[in-house]
Structure 1
Amino acid sequence: MTTFLKSLISLQDSCLAFISLMFHGGSSEDAAEALKKLEASVNGVRISIDTTWTGELRSFLIVPLFKCLVALCLMISLLVFIEGIYMNLVVLYVKLFKRKPEKIYKWEPMPEDIELGHETYPMVLVQIPMYNEKEVLQLSIGAACRLIWPLDRLIVQVLDDSTDQTIKGLVNTECAKWESKGVKIKCERRDNRNGYKAGALKQGMKHNYVKLCNYVVIFDADFQPEPDYLQRSVPFLVHNPEVALVQARWRFMNANKCLMTRMQEMSLNYHFMAEQESGSTRHAFFSFNGTAGVWRMAAMEEAGGWHDRTTVEDMDLAVRAGLLGWKFVFLNDLTVKSELPSKFKAFRFQQHRWSCGPANLFRKMIMEIIRNKRVTLWKKLYLVYSFFFLRKIIVHCFTFLFYCVILPTSVFFPEVNIPAWSTFYIPSMITLCIVIATPRSFYLVIFWILFENVMSMHRTKGTFIGILERQRVNEWVVTEKLGDALKTKLFPRIGKPSNRFLERVNSNEIMVGIYILCCACYGLFFGNTLLYLYLFMQAVAFLVSGVGFVGT
């Protein structure tokens, strides 16, 4: 028995020395002493294991590889920082010199002609694609039909792909109500859902009455434009024949629903303030947001119309039209009410589509962009590097790799120095630029950082699926709308909420959270920096998301 206990104690001491050397390194004497042999005694038989190779593996492979990853992340960090500063400087230029679209492009209100009557107004088609949108169908159809525009120059087209017969009946009733008020409203249905939203929009353009229209407006089912939307947007297209798209900004009616919707508001406000504003000002190009935009029918036809090859048909159309030389205008002052997903599962599906689709589109269009001869080299460089490569691919992967993998793992490599500018100063400046877009949420900045790091895992996964065209590359899950923009619900909700714990558990978040938690504990006991404070908070964010306690 005594021999057995001695063997266990010897084994424990040897293992501790081995782990200490692996993670902390040591002097040559320590290495020779601790790593020369790992000895264990089992039943009186001594087994000698030469472990010198572990020190060599760490010194010549693991540490250099980790240093290379750190160096790569530092370079990407600088690129992201430069891109963010550039976009914010453009926005600052617009604000200081008041370079609003009305000063860059010609804009005049639609003229009233007594003799011609409404003939001076162009024909406008309003498309509302929907799929089982029971909670918001009445709101969206009503908002479209209340648009201030001559009734004989406006057609509202409801593209209903609903599979629920009750909801189909509600759509028919709502359309009949507005038709009785003199609105030209059409409800179009398909026998299948091929192409999802893109397929519905494409099928809707095939009807004969659409050929009479000059412009087409798209509103998703949870969007409610103000009555003067057409009066403020269409004149840009009428008076500027080189303009193909006029995009309005989203305004979120349920931003105060929960902490998750507040953080979504921060991210999307920055997207519109920086990415859309800077793209419109410097390149007359940005990504169509899929809704709340007016298209010139001629530009759509020249670009080839709607394609369903990816889950981002809006971006696909915008890039193809941009490569033909058409210009886009973003109106920051024109807002359209919308709804944010308040359930974590719905938000995850949405983020998968928004990260997978652009990556897959980049794979499909990279050579088409490079070979294009109708736009300048500067615009092609902007599309390839800034618009696609940096913002749609690199940023997602960098955020997860650096802040959720490299930084936690660095506690095991004290000999690898990660400069403070990359972990604190640059992230702080980038975050400050983002928070400026939503000043009222400044006090939530810590929660926003942690939550964005959690979501970067899903965005990274979606990016790789899109680039490699793996399973789920064309997965389309309609973002659930709860009618949160309404103070009272128009109709009772479908189904009953489920509170079963296992249905809310997300294993990926839990595994990453446990790993970061282990790194935080190791950093607390053996580290010589305060990095463990961040790691504990990030671990909690992953674990809370992992058990589903996010959103409503």
Structure 2
Amino acid sequence: MTTFLKSLIFLQDSCLAFLSLMFHRGSSEDAAEALKKLETSINGARISFDTTWTREFRSLFIVPLFKCLVAFCLIISLLVFIEGIYMNLVVLYVKVFERKPEKVYRWEPMQEDIELGHETYPMVLVQIPMYNEKEVLQLSIGAACRLIWPLDRLIVQVLDDSTDQTIKELVNTECAKWESKGVNIKCERRDNRNGYKAGALKEGMKHNYVKLCNYVVIFDADFQPEPDYLQHSVPFLVHNPEVALVQARWRFMNANKCLMTRMQEMSLNYHFMAEQESGSTRHAFFSFNGTAGVWRMAAMEEAGGWHDRTTVEDMDLAVRAGLLGWKFVFLNDLTVKSELPSKFKAFRFQQHRWSCGPANLFRKMIMEIIRNKVLFSIYLFNLDKNVPTIFFVTRPITTLVFCSSC
């Protein structure tokens, strides 16, 4: 501040010199030279003032702000690192002590009763949302219709939002083909695309025949389950009433297509084998992946069903169900074939949705999480198995910090 005061005094002296000059009776050349010197002095004082003010403002506000931001990023990075170590230790524990879901939860294969026959099997709804999926519609519909399950206890629902009339006709032809083989298949369409995938799933749940079903399976159009998928997954829900979701692992058919797909495979394999398996083992909670999972209808209804308020409707539903105390089971040994984005544009859109979606969801649900005392449980390290864990803090905040464009 001393330099700042000196600059003001110098400016004042310069002004006094200028006033004296006005009354000076010397030659015009002397007056012009004096004015030039005065102008130079004033400019120098102004530059000194600007430099001093900038330096003072930067030291008082800018530097402390950036120090706080750097410290905050370091804390978040440390939390993510600790979480990664923790998850890998949990996975190691599962491998060493063979704590597979079949040993943690009750699991028995479904069997027909001599008197009741197929009535012992629960009603299962298979939903396939699609939008102009010309290349894979036959594969996805065919894979769903080949699932090993009593035909009178299975409903396949194709949610076709396609805008191309040719593709609509292809979907109709494929559905008619499987219907002629005895499969109970429904093709449902809307006159709009409100809510996109979440809107289609929500509309699909409104039909009367859906009320007869106990469980619902979601497969994206580029996913092809193995025929024994239901035989491995549904028994967890039948014999464990506290379980709301059974999630299978994705298996990528085009992982070796290019360098980008190989990198995606490594990243997603870590997501499944470390993040989701540790969440399932330690806390019975992880984020639903939006496909290749079986939901208990009662749990979905209690959680409020599908919401289209964000681009991660799958995580939205999982968080709401987790806050209500429902448990999730991840099956690492049960895989579903899928494909990875092989073009950068599709990959970029996918990553943007996966990054910004959780951040937007966190902003919308932060009060619900606080009311559920999840944050307090995390703070006290009292991580009960019935509540979501540090997932609620590290993932959204990390996204908000490193993806501020959301």
Kindly state the Cα deviation for residue 356 of structure 1 after the two structures are TM-superposed.
2.0
Tell me whether 266-275 or 326-335 shows the greater mean CA deviation.
266-275
In the TM superposition, what whole-angstrom CA distance separates every residue of 1:420-459 from its partner, at most 9, and x where no partner exists?
xxxxxxxxxxxxxxxxxxxxxxxxxxxxxxxxx99999xx
> What does residue 382 of structure 1 align with?
376
Q: Distance in 2 between matches of 1:214 and 1:158?
A: 18
Kindly tell me the number of residue pairs found equivalent between the two proteins: 399
Q: Is the 8 Å Cα contact of residues 39 and 49 (structure 1) preserved in structure 2?
A: no
Structure 1: give runs of 5+ residues left out of the alignment. 374-380, 393-452, 458-511, 522-552
Q: Is the 8 Å Cα contact of residues 41 and 47 (structure 1) preserved in structure 2?
A: no
Question: Cα–Cα, structure 1 residues 391 and 195, in superposed 2: closer, same or farther, change >3 Å?
Answer: farther
Q: TM-score, normalised by structure 2?
A: 0.78
Kindly state the Cα deviation for residue 175 of structure 1 after the two structures are TM-superposed.
0.6
Kindly state the Cα deviation for residue 222 of structure 1 after the two structures are TM-superposed.
0.4
Q: Is the 8 Å Cα contact of residues 40 and 48 (structure 1) preserved in structure 2?
A: no
Tell me whether 110-119 or 512-521 shows the greater mean CA deviation.
512-521
RMSD of the TM alignment (CA)?
10.8
Tell me whether 64-73 or 184-193 shows the greater mean CA deviation.
64-73
In the TM superposition, what whole-angstrom CA distance separates every residue of 1:255-309 from its partner, at most 9, and x where no partner exists?
1111111111121111111221111111111111110000111111111211112
Q: Is the 8 Å Cα contact of residues 155 and 184 (structure 2) preserved in structure 1?
A: yes
Question: Cα–Cα, structure 1 residues 33 and 265, in superposed 2: closer, same or farther, change >3 Å?
Answer: farther
Structure 2: give runs of 5+ residues left out of the alignment. 391-396
Kindly state the Cα deviation for residue 55 of structure 1 after the two structures are TM-superposed.
6.5
Question: Cα–Cα, structure 1 residues 236 and 317, in superposed 2: closer, same or farther, change >3 Å?
Answer: same
SS in 2 for 1:159: strand
> What does residue 322 of structure 2 align with?
322
Kindly state the Cα deviation for residue 114 of structure 1 after the two structures are TM-superposed.
3.0
Q: Distance in 2 between matches of 1:321 and 1:25?
A: 91
Tell me whether 311-320 or 24-33 shows the greater mean CA deviation.
24-33
Q: How does 1:46-85 map to 2 (within 5 A)?
A: 65-85=65-85
Q: Is the 8 Å Cα contact of residues 355 and 399 (structure 2) preserved in structure 1?
A: no
Q: Distance in 2 between matches of 1:56 and 1:356?
A: 37
> What does residue 312 of structure 1 align with?
312
Question: Cα–Cα, structure 1 residues 10 and 233, in superposed 2: closer, same or farther, change >3 Å?
Answer: farther
Kindly state the Cα deviation for residue 59 of structure 1 after the two structures are TM-superposed.
6.2
Q: Is the 8 Å Cα contact of residues 38 and 49 (structure 1) preserved in structure 2?
A: no
Larger Rg: 2
Kindly state the Cα deviation for residue 50 of structure 1 after the two structures are TM-superposed.
8.5
> What does residue 191 of structure 1 align with?
191
In the TM superposition, what whole-angstrom CA distance separates every residue of 1:63-116 from its partner, at most 9, and x where no partner exists?
555544443333332222111111111111111111110011000101232332
Question: Cα–Cα, structure 1 residues 10 and 389, in superposed 2: closer, same or farther, change >3 Å?
Answer: farther
| 1:516 paired to 2:401 | yes
Q: How does 1:221-236 map to 2 (within 5 A)?
A: 221-236=221-236
Q: Is the 8 Å Cα contact of residues 255 and 262 (structure 1) preserved in structure 2?
A: yes
Question: Cα–Cα, structure 1 residues 315 and 454, in superposed 2: closer, same or farther, change >3 Å?
Answer: closer
Kindly state the Cα deviation for residue 46 of structure 1 after the two structures are TM-superposed.
15
Question: Cα–Cα, structure 1 residues 16 and 229, in superposed 2: closer, same or farther, change >3 Å?
Answer: farther
In the TM superposition, what whole-angstrom CA distance separates every residue of 1:301-342 from its partner, at most 9, and x where no partner exists?
111211112211111111111122111101011111111111
Q: Distance in 1 between matches of 2:64 and 2:226?
A: 58
SS in 2 for 1:350: helix
Tell me whether 512-521 or 52-61 shows the greater mean CA deviation.
512-521
Kindly state the Cα deviation for residue 198 of structure 1 after the two structures are TM-superposed.
1.1
Question: Cα–Cα, structure 1 residues 65 and 316, in superposed 2: closer, same or farther, change >3 Å?
Answer: closer
Kindly state the Cα deviation for residue 141 of structure 1 after the two structures are TM-superposed.
0.4
Question: Cα–Cα, structure 1 residues 390 and 172, in superposed 2: closer, same or farther, change >3 Å?
Answer: farther
Q: TM-score, normalised by structure 1?
A: 0.58
> What does residue 202 of structure 2 align with?
202
Question: Cα–Cα, structure 1 residues 326 and 26, in superposed 2: closer, same or farther, change >3 Å?
Answer: farther
Q: Is the 8 Å Cα contact of residues 258 and 342 (structure 1) preserved in structure 2?
A: yes
Q: Distance in 1 between matches of 2:258 and 2:72?
A: 37
Kindly state the Cα deviation for residue 9 of structure 1 after the two structures are TM-superposed.
32
SS in 2 for 1:24: coil
Q: Percent identity?
A: 90
Question: Cα–Cα, structure 1 residues 34 and 354, in superposed 2: closer, same or farther, change >3 Å?
Answer: farther
